[in-house]
């Protein structure tokens, strides 16, 4: 027998609203119910619970689904049934409450919360049980996001099993943004998620759940949407963490660096020798990862090693003969004396043969039903125990890499809390498995290889853009030249791949090397790879400043899809998977690194948003909106233009000091704000100049009131000057 939840009980189950209540009016005319808020209104057609969203001026944001806006099963069944009838039960300034009956006679209460910039739906079936529930609208427009599932989109997807597969899909998010419509949607549900984005419908749902409580539609400009999404993520338990500057320099990973005999079975000697070779070659490394076999006795790496807390293979009982890491402190000293942060691979998997396993089992630290995984998500004591165990390694941070053994489906947030705890303790963290948020410094895509492991070269850019759209912009595209490189050297096409990979990774938020560039036989190619690394090192301060801005605002400054950056410019939707903004002043493209074999000469169509754009290397200037048809990117060319704010900050190679560079792009009070490596000192550079004549343009340090000496570049027309963190600057004159 069906029963209605008592009103008091149903209300008590609801999460408190963020921000203040905002429903202004609810009008029931018999066939429709219209819920109005100051900026928008939702009209629910009672037949089928078909809901549409409009601005209060009548502009359509999302239309009603052609059949029903809600469908759901009966308790503990799998047959879906469309919503049939709707009754408005009551409403107040917080929400409207409906009773919806589907075509099978099953009932659910639906709560609609409206706020100035978002809606929240909750669907609470009347009879307890396990349900499949979908909420859906008509098709909206071109969308972007979905984490790892968004790799080949402007979105078109039907996925009734969205989850972490411990392989190609590990950053799991059903957040999607539709920039032209000023809309985004997300359902927070760690278990089995359902997503449909097609030419006929946009649906979010869940399978095998008691109810749906956290389905949101966000409304506004992209900046407004991401700001509110950041707040809601934190509110429902998925906070991002502020990243640290070192992880936006050049990294190194043993898994790509060492030959096939050692990339899993790492040894201290080859690790140190390889890093030293990079340093001798002039690569300015700032972090390095040792991923496997530093633990005692070479246990199975997928399930046992990283939870052998502090048990280095150092010659103590149980170690190999000879030991893999005879001097762990010497390894740490080696890294630190060279200015590098040492990270180890980390997983929450644990094996019954692990000497710590008995403690975990006896104390209930394991996931019920999955006794090879530490329950860091739901058991605070287990999380504290895991965190204390990682401290025993005595290193700077960890490359989180949940994988393989134990990889039970769903519970996609099963590692979030572990990474949050590591970040809270000041560790450096590369995140690989998470849901919605990135509780780490950077987020790594799954392993790349020359032969297309988990995707083609095109996926490197496509995934980065999907991550940015998903509000996870601090993207690490994995090791340049990938993993499992053969010991016998590089083919001609692999050498070309190496160069194209390096030039694209250089214009992404994070970059790391493995297999040595000195293995490239072509001297010009070796120089091109080094040039790409030097570019990333040079502009790491600018990139990190964008990463801090991303953390503070939620907006994906470090890797902004062009439709997000320029939602009102129709042409940017023509190349959504190959171009992005790297901070507010650089635009990059991966258009010439998409497939094998890799081309030496490549041309691409480059979409220019409004404004002036300058080819970073040639200094050639263009004016948008326009499309550069067949623009040439010969191998080794950095695929980046300067535009937007037109101001960057870079590290001077000789002195290590900071310099600002203002290109002749933006005037009229345009301002760029730079944040230093400590994420504290800010400097704003304001272009109050009327022109760019070097004879009359003046740059003033407004913090001290003194004029600043500047250099003028003839090729680009840019002005360079020394920047003191915390000082502000203004450009005047220039006529």
Among 248-262, 276-290, 375-389, where is mean pLDDT lowest? Answer: 248-262
**Residue-wise pLDDT tens digits, 320-331:** 999 999 999 999
What is the C-alpha separation between 132 and 206, in angstroms, rounded?
6
Strands 711-712 and 647-651: unpaired
Which fold does the domain 7-219 belong to in CATH? Beta-galactosidase; Chain A, domain 5 (2.70.98)
Q: Which two tokens stand for residue 361?
A: 């089992």
If you average pLDDT over residues 537-555, what whole number do you get? 98
Read off the pTM: 0.95
Distance, CA of 274 to CA of 257 (rounded, Å): 7
Rounded to the nearest angstrom, the gap between the alpha carbon of residue 506 and the centroid of all alpha carbons in its chain is 17
Among the ranges 87-101, 299-313, 343-357, which has the highest mean pLDDT value?
A: 87-101
Q: Are strands 442-444 and 428-431 parallel, antiparallel or unpaired?
A: parallel
CATH topology of domain 245-347+387-553: TIM Barrel (3.20.20)
Q: How confident is the model at residue 165 (pLDDT cuts 50, 70, 90)?
A: confident
Band of the pLDDT at 533, cuts 50, 70, 90?
A: very high
Q: How far is CA 402 from CA 164, 167, 349, in A?
A: 10, 10, 7
Q: Express each pLDDT in 40-79 by its tens digit.
A: 999 999 999 999 999 999 999 999 999 999 999 999 999 9
Going by pLDDT thresholds of 50, 70 and 90, the confidence category of residue 454 is confident
Q: Is it the case that residue 171 has pLDDT exceeding 80?
A: yes
Looking at the domain 560-642, which fold is it? Immunoglobulin-like (2.60.40)
Q: What residue ranges do the domains of the chain occupy?
A: 7-219, 245-347+387-553, 560-642, 647-732
Separation CA 146–CA 308 (nearest Å): 34
| Percent of all residues in the chain with a pLDDT value above 70, rounded to a whole number | 93
Q: Nearest CA to 13 among 131, 123, 133, 132?
A: 123
Q: What is the tens place of the pLDDT at every residue in 593-619?
A: 999 999 999 999 999 999 999 999 999
Distance CA 251, CA 32 (A): 58
* DSSP-derived secondary structure for 151-195: TT-SS-EEEEEE---SSS--EE---EEEGGGTEEEEE--SS-EEE
668 sits in the region (left: phi over 0; alpha: psi -120 to 50; else beta) called left
In 237-355, alpha helices (H): 254-257, 268-280, 328-337
Strands in 360-504 per DSSP E:
366-367, 370-374, 397-400, 428-431, 434-435, 442-444, 475-476
Confidence of residue 301 (pLDDT cuts 50, 70, 90): low
pLDDT given for residue 300 in this prediction: 65
Q: What is the pLDDT of residue 15?
A: 38
CB-CB contact of 712 with 699 (8 Å): no
Please, are residues 346 and 403 in contact by the beta-carbon 8 Å criterion?
no
Token pair belonging to 562: 């062009």
How high is the pLDDT of residue 239?
96
Q: Is 583's pLDDT higher than 60? A: yes
What span, in angstroms and rounded, lies between the C-alpha atoms of 256 and 252? 8
pLDDT in tens, 494-532: 999 999 999 999 999 999 999 999 999 999 999 999 999
Distances (CA, A) of 198 to 63, 156, 465, 573: 14, 5, 20, 17
Give per-residue pLDDT as tens, 651-670: 999 899 999 999 999 999 99
Given a cut of 50, whether residue 16 has pLDDT beyond it is no
C-alpha distances in angstroms, 468 versus 43, 555, 592?
32, 9, 20
What pLDDT score was predicted for residue 14? 37
pLDDT over threshold 70, residue 286: yes
Q: Which of 462, 435, 432, 434 is nearest to 444 (CA)?
A: 432
Per-residue pLDDT band for 17 (boundaries 50, 70, 90) equals: very low
Beta strands 719-722 and 711-712 are antiparallel
At 486 the pLDDT is 65
What's CA 422's distance to the chain center, in Å?
Answer: 18
Residue 11 has pLDDT above 50, yes or no: no
Three-state secondary structure call for residue 130: coil
């Amino acid at each position: 027998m069906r029963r209605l939840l008592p009103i008091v009980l149903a209300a008590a189950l609801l999460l408190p609203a963020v921000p203040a209540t905002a429903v202004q009016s609810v009008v029931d005319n018999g066939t429709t119910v219209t819920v109005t808020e100051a900026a928008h209104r939702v009209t629910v057609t009672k037949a089928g619970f078909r809901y549409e969203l409009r601005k209060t001026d009548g502009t359509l944001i999302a239309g009603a689904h052609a059949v029903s806006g809600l469908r759901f099963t009966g308790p503990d069944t799998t047959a879906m049934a469309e919503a049939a009838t709707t009754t408005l039960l009551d409403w107040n300034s917080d929400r409207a409450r409906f009773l919806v009956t589907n075509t099978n006679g099953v009932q659910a209460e639906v709560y609609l919360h409206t706020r100035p910039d978002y809606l929240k739906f909750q669907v609470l079936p009347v009879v307890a049980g396990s349900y499949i529930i979908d909420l859906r609208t008509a098709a909206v427009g071109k969308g972007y996001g979905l984490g790892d599932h968004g790799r080949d989109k402007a979105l078109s997807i039907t996925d009734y099993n969205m989850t972490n597969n411990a392989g190609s899909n590990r950053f799991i998010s059903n957040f999607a943004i539709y920039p032209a419509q000023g809309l985004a949607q997300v359902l927070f549900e760690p278990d089995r998620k359902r997503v449909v984005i097609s030419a006929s419908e946009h649906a979010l749902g869940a399978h095998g759940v008691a109810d749906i409580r956290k389905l949101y539609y966000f409304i506004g400009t992209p900046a407004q949407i991401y700001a509110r999404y950041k707040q809601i993520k934190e509110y429902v338990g998925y906070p991002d963490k502020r990243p640290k500057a070192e992880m936006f320099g050049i990294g190194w990973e043993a898994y790509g660096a060492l030959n096939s005999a050692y990339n899993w079975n790492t040894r201290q000697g080859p690790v140190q020798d390889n890093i030293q070779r990079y340093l001798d070659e002039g690569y300015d490394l700032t972090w390095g990862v040792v991923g496997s076999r530093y633990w005692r006795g070479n246990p199975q790496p997928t399930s046992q090693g990283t939870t052998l807390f502090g048990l280095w293979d150092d010659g103590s009982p149980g170690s190999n003969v000879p030991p893999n890491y005879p001097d762990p402190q010497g390894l740490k000293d080696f890294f630190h004396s060279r200015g590098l942060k040492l990270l180890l691979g980390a997983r929450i998997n644990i094996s019954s043969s692990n000497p710590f396993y008995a403690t975990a089992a006896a104390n209930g630290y394991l996931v019920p039903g999955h006794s090879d995984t530490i329950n860091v998500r739901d058991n605070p004591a287990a999380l504290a125990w895991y965190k204390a165990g990682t401290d025993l390694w005595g290193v700077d941070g960890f490359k989180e890499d949940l994988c393989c053994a134990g990889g039970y489906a769903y519970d996609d947030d099963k590692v979030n809390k572990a990474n949050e705890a590591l970040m809270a303790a000041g560790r450096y963290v590369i995140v690989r498995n998470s849901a919605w948020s990135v509780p780490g410094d950077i987020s790594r895509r799954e392993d790349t290889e020359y032969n297309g492991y988990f995707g083609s070269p095109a996926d490197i850019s496509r995934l980065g853009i999907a991550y940015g759209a998903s509000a996870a912009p601090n993207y690490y595209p994995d090791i340049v030249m990938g993993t499992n490189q053969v010991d016998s050297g590089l083919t001609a096409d692999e050498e070309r791949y190496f160069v194209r990979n390096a030039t694209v990774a250089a214009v992404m938020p994070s970059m790391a090397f493995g297999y040595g560039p000195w293995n490239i036989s072509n001297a010009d190619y070796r120089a091109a790879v080094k040039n790409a690394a030097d570019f990333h090192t040079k502009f790491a301060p600018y990139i990190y400043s964008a990463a801090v801005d991303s953390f503070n605002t939620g907006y994906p400054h470090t890797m902004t899809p062009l439709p997000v950056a320029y939602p009102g410019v129709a042409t940017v939707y023509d190349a959504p998977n190959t171009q992005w903004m790297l901070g507010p002043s650089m635009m990059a493209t991966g258009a010439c690194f998409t497939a094998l074999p890799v081309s030496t000469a490549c041309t691409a169509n480059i979409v220019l948003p409004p404004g002036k754009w300058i080819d970073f290397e040639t200094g050639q200037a263009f004016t948008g909106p326009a499309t550069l048809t067949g623009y040439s990117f010969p191998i080794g060319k950095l695929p980046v233009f300067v535009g937007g704010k037109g101001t960057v900050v870079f590290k001077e190679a000789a002195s290590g000091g900071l310099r600002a560079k203002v290109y002749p792009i933006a005037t009229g009070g345009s301002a760029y704000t730079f944040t230093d490596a400590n994420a504290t000192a800010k400097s704003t550079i304001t272009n109050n100049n009327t022109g760019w004549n070097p004879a009359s343009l003046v740059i003033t340090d407004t913090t001290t009131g003194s004029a600043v000496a500047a250099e003028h570049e003839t090729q680009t027309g840019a002005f360079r000057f020394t920047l003191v963190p915390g000082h502000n600057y203004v450009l005047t004159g220039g006529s």
